[in-house]
Amino acid sequence: MMTSHTTDLWEEATLMMKLSQRPHPHLLSILSVESDASSGVRMVVPIARYGSMLDLVDHLEFQGLAPSHAHMNVVLRQVKQAVDHLETQGFDHGDVRARNVLVFEFETDNPCATHVCLGDYGETRPGRVTPDCIMDLAKELHSLVPR
């Protein structure tokens, strides 16, 4: 659950509700929104079991493991599908980064079991996606894999 007193968070929740009308398996969905004067806006979203891609990489590194290039390719493909879906809805995410890629499923020996969702719609604006966002994410993801 995320809480804030800001108008920005309310606008993000409104966008998430709109996007939930045409859900996509790789876009973070919103379960509910609450607002009151004392605690601000609360958005309830599904729990990403492994946190963000950055959290997952840190966790794996602590265990002496690392995601493979195959894992990162699966993640990149899923995020690309999410970004493409957002664009069909008339939006540019605006902040496609590993910290905004939430990991719901991950198996070290099975890259195809990986399931991620793109979250954090705070920078999302009407418009077209810049192709550079996927290339930048690809570079960032692949830099997280040891050589």
**Joined tokens for residue 74:** 């699966």
Structure confidence at residue 64 (pLDDT): 93
The number of distinct structural domains making up the chain is: 1
Structure confidence at residue 133 (pLDDT): 85
d(CA 120, CA 139): 20
The three-class DSSP label of residue 39 is coil
Longest Cα–Cα distance of the chain, Å, equals 51
Low-confidence ranges of the chain (pLDDT < 70): 1-7, 36-39
Question: For residue 57, what is the domain's CATH number?
Answer: 1.10.510.10
Range of the domain at 68: 2-143
Structure confidence at residue 35 (pLDDT): 75
Structure confidence at residue 75 (pLDDT): 97
